[in-house]
Each structure stands twice: as structure tokens, then as C-alpha cells.
Amino acid sequence: MPSNEQIVHQALGRIEAGYVFPEKTAAVDAAIRRRLAQGEYGGLDGPSLCEAVTSHLQEVCPDKHLRLLWVDQPQSLDPADDDKGRAAFRALLRAENQGIRRVEQLEGNIGLVDVRWIASADEGAATIGAAMQLVAGSSALVVDLRECRGGAPEGAAMWCSYFFPDDQVHLNDFYERSTGATRQFWTAAHLPAPRYTGRPVLVLTSSVTFSGGEDVAYTLQAHGRAELVGETTRGGAHPTDRHPVTEHIMVTVPTARTINSVTGTNWEGTGVVPDIAAPAGEALDVALRTALERLGA
């Protein structure tokens, strides 16, 4: 079992090698090593170490994706098995119905899709399409992202694609540090269910909504395709890789940044601000009233 000092050294190495803003890594490294030298991490158990280091990382660099995470399930430490957390995320999505918790038809022919994770565009496409097929005949749609904690950029683009008429909408760009390249995301040309256009779309948000969920909310809002109802979101906009440090500790390193094609920026550190503010527990009722108003009911 590596010592806390070895764990911190290895995590800092990953951050230095991969963090999307390399100019910030020196300050991060110096701050954490100073605390390490002062013995602040010496007697901590694994979960406490993760909590402390994460807090100190974000004091220096307030990036909510920059973290040490404790995981209960043991993970492989073989370098050949380090796929940046992708296999674990795919397994989670399979266990969580590709992130879709429920689909309903509510009074007034208003559809509701409750999304907890943003699935990848390959494995998640059929399930996302099935959900959108079920609400295809509704007069208005509520997309509930209040408990959505993240997901895949490609999946966020697929979700957004349903709400535009064709493949001609430039959604956003992702700059990746490892390649120095910027990847464009556009609406998809082909989808497994009908597009949802010409009707009101309300997106529910909360202080829990994070990362990929924020991507969908921010993108639809910026392009004027949805009204957001609820609370300001957590504010994490940087796509992230996960690397095991021990069998139970991983370091998450943001390796890219999002650039919205409309705003030229993103929601990092600020969160996505709703159009209609409401406590999370009341957001659905507010959205339903708003949908009926938009429909003239």
C-alpha cells in the first residue's frame, strides 16, 4: 500500500502531465507539496485524504473537476488497463439505463424525460432514441436534469441534436491539451427517433446538475432552444480523464475545455443560470405552468 506522500506525488504528476491549463500546474504543485511537507496529509485515511487534497487543489485552482476520488470498488493498477475511466463509466451507464430514469406523459400532453447521466453517443443512442420516440407526439417537453451529474460530450451533442431541425447547427468546440487541436461538435445528421422541433422545451436544473448535464442545459439555452427552470448549476465545464493512483483512489484531471459557439465561453466556475429561478423541488411545477402558458392553455 503506497504512503499518502506517494499517492499525492503520483496525483500531482498526472495533473502536471495532463491538465488543460498547463500554466496553472506550477502553483498547484507548489501549494500541495507545501502542505505535504508540513505533514498535513500524514495521518489521514483514504477518504479523508481525498477530501483534503481536493479541497486544497480547488483553493489554488477552482476547477470542480480537479479532484482526488475515493472509490469502493477496487480498480486495476496495471498501466495497460488505464483507459482514463471510460470502461467504468460505460458499466455505470449500462447499469443505469443509459442515464434515463423515467419517461412520462403528463397532463396537457406534456412529455417528461428524467435524465441522470449523459450517455455516450454510441451505446446510448438506442436508449436515448427510445425515450425521444415516446415523447415524440407531445405538445411540449420537460427535460429534467436536476439529478444529472455528468457524462459524455458526444452524448450531450446527441441529446441537443433532437431539438434542432437538421445537422447545420454548430453547438460547441472542445480544445484538447494533449493534441492542441480543437474539435467541433455539430448537430447530428441522423437520429434514431424523430426530432423535437417547433414546440416548447423546458429544462430543469439544480445545484446538483454538473458537467455533461450542464453542457446540455447551457447549449440549448445559448442557442435559444430551451428555457431553463430551477437553480444555478454546479459549474464544471472541463472534460476529464480519470486515472487510478491506488486500488481505491483515482485522480481526475481536466484535459480539455468547452467553447460554446454562441457565447464563446462556457459555464466553468459560474454554473448555468436558469431563465426562471425556482427551488429545485418546485422547478417541475413551475415548468409545467410555463409550458401550458407557452401553449396558450
Domain positions in the chain: 4-78, 96-236+271-294
Give residue-wise pLDDT tens across range 116-135: 999 999 999 999 999 999 99
Using only C-alpha atoms, the chain has a radius of gyration, in whole angstroms, of 20
pLDDT attached to residue 84:
79
User: Is a pLDDT exceeding 90 seen at residue 77?
Assistant: no
Q: Residue 175 belongs to what H/E stretch?
A: strand 170-176
Task: Express as a percent the part of the chain with pLDDT over 70.
Answer: 100
Mean pLDDT estimate for the chain? 95
Does the model's pTM come out above 0.75?
yes
Phi-psi map region of 217: left, alpha, beta (phi>0 left; psi -120 to 50 alpha): alpha
CATH number among 3.40.390.10, 3.30.450.40, 3.40.50.300, 3.90.226.10, domain 96-236+271-294: 3.90.226.10
User: Is a pLDDT exceeding 70 seen at residue 26?
Assistant: yes
Give CA 13 to chain center in angstroms.
Answer: 24
pLDDT attached to residue 297:
67
CA–CA separation, 189 vs 57, rounded Å? 41
What mean pLDDT is predicted for residues 231-247? 93
Cα separation values, 199 from 2, 202, 235, Å: 56, 10, 28
